[in-house]
């Protein structure tokens, strides 16, 4: 709740900052264009506080990160990092400038009409950077493999041995194709193959290095306990559990119902009067965590028979977490069977399973 005298809105960009301070006692509006950098902004805010009393500040979450929020908080200034998608903007306003945005933020802060974004700790942000670097490597590896396989497909060369692709056997086949299957191809195709193959191997090595670093951090960090408890559920390996732990951070912000909404796994709705219309999921919130849960949900479709890997994960977690994980696995598999029996479209059913899986993850994460 806003309880200061002056509301300060900051429109932060990489090379400039527009500031607007609204003195709620006198109605005076102070505007300024500041150089980039948290020190300059903090100095200006301190000057406003000296002349116009206690201040509260706000800026939109974005690519400039949370350094400014940490700097102002360290100086004893109240800071709100606002969710950009939740900011109320007049539909008839057709003029948008940095100065007007700063004033709008100050006024919305004064009226308590902003939805704050949680500022992660430095440790959480560091771990999150590592997890997202690994996800970037995954996306790049998929693209590199597609380029390589489609280059061969254009030449009529297909890996149809019936075995899985991108294994050691497949790699030996690729190298053999390079020397035997592309004899009639021109030098340009050979160079393109070499570039695509080198990109695939280098990205794969980078991904493996990141995996090793994540496993090391997951074994001994503030996220270890949560990671091990989440691993009691099917489809959540150490990599996935660690990623969920660092992406969501403070699980106690949510309940078993609201966490699915935060992750964008609830249906959208457009209802009016007596009619109610539901659509696809909202896809709001944390995209990375939502993708992980969607992929994990597919694992609950197969017959549930705990094997050595699952039992080893249960042994590493508290007994109460293992028991709850087993209950969650049985429940989610039964849900899958019901959806299949009702001939539900599998992608829709999997999304529903992921929505419930988010609740099970929440219950395990908060378990002492």
Residue range 104-136, pLDDT digits in tens: 999 999 999 999 999 999 999 999 999 999 999
What 3-state DSSP class applies to 155? coil
Mean pLDDT of 171-175: 93
Nearest C-alpha neighbor of 259 from the set 297, 290, 222, 288: 290
All structural domains of the chain: 6-110 (3.30.420.140), 122-219 (no CATH), 225-365 (no CATH)
DSSP 4: S
Lowest mean pLDDT among 27-31, 116-120, 138-142, 272-276: 272-276
Residue pair 231/247 in contact (Cβ under 8 Å)? The answer is: no
Give the end-to-end CA distance of the chain in Å, rounded to a whole number: 31
For residue range 229-257, list pLDDT tens digits in order: 999 999 999 999 999 999 999 999 999 88
CB atoms within 10 A of CB 205: 11
Q: What is the mean pLDDT of the chain?
A: 94
- Going from the C-alpha of 90 to that of each of 22, 83, 94, the distances in angstroms are 19, 17, 9
CA-wise closest residue to 241 among 131, 145, 344: 131
pTM of the model: 0.91
Residue 23's H or E segment, with its range, is strand 17-23
Split at pLDDT 50, 70, 90, the class of 362 is very high
Tokens of 262: 């935060």
- H or E stretch covering 191: helix 187-219
């Amino acid at each position: 709740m806003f309880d200061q005298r002056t509301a300060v809105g900051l429109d932060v960009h990489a090379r400039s900052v527009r500031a607007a301070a609204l003195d709620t006692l006198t109605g005076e509006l102070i505007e300024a264009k500041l150089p980039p950098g948290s020190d300059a902004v903090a100095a200006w805010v301190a000057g406003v506080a000296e002349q116009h009393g206690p201040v509260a500040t706000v800026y939109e979450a974005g690519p400039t990160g949370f350094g400014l929020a940490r700097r102002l908080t360290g100086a004893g200034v109240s800071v709100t990092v606002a969710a950009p998608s939740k900011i109320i903007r007049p539909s008839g306003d057709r003029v948008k400038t940095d100065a007007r945005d700063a004033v709008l933020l100050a006024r919305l802060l004064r009226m308590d009409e902003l939805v704050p974004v949680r500022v992660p700790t430095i440790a959480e942000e560091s771990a999150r950077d590592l997890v997202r670097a690994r996800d970037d490597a995954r996306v790049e590896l998929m693209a590199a493999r597609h380029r390589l396989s489609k280059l061969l497909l254009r030449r009529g060369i297909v890996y149809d041995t019936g075995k899985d692709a991108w294994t050691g056997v497949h790699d030996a086949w690729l190298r053999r194709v390079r020397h035997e299957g592309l004899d009639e191809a021109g030098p340009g195709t050979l160079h393109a193959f070499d570039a695509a193959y080198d990109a695939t191997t280098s990205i794969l090595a980078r991904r493996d290095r990141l995996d090793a670093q994540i496993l090391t951090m997951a074994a001994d960090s503030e996220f270890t306990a949560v990671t091990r408890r989440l691993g009691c559920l099917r489809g959540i390996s150490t990599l996935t559990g660690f990623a969920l732990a660092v992406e969501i951070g403070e699980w106690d912000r949510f309940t078993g119902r609201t966490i699915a909404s935060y992750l964008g796994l609830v249906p959208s709705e457009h209802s009016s009067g007596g009619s109610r219309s539901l659509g696809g999921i909202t896809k709001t919130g944390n995209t990375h965590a939502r993708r992980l849960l969607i992929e994990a949900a597919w694992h609950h479709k197969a017959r549930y028979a705990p094997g050595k890997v699952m039992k080893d994960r249960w042994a590493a977690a508290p007994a109460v977490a293992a028991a709850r994980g087993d209950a969650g696995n049985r429940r989610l598999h039964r849900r899958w069977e019901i959806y299949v029996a009702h001939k539900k479209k599998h992608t829709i059913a999997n999304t529903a399973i992921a929505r419930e899986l988010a609740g099970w993850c929440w219950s395990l994460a908060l378990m002492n």
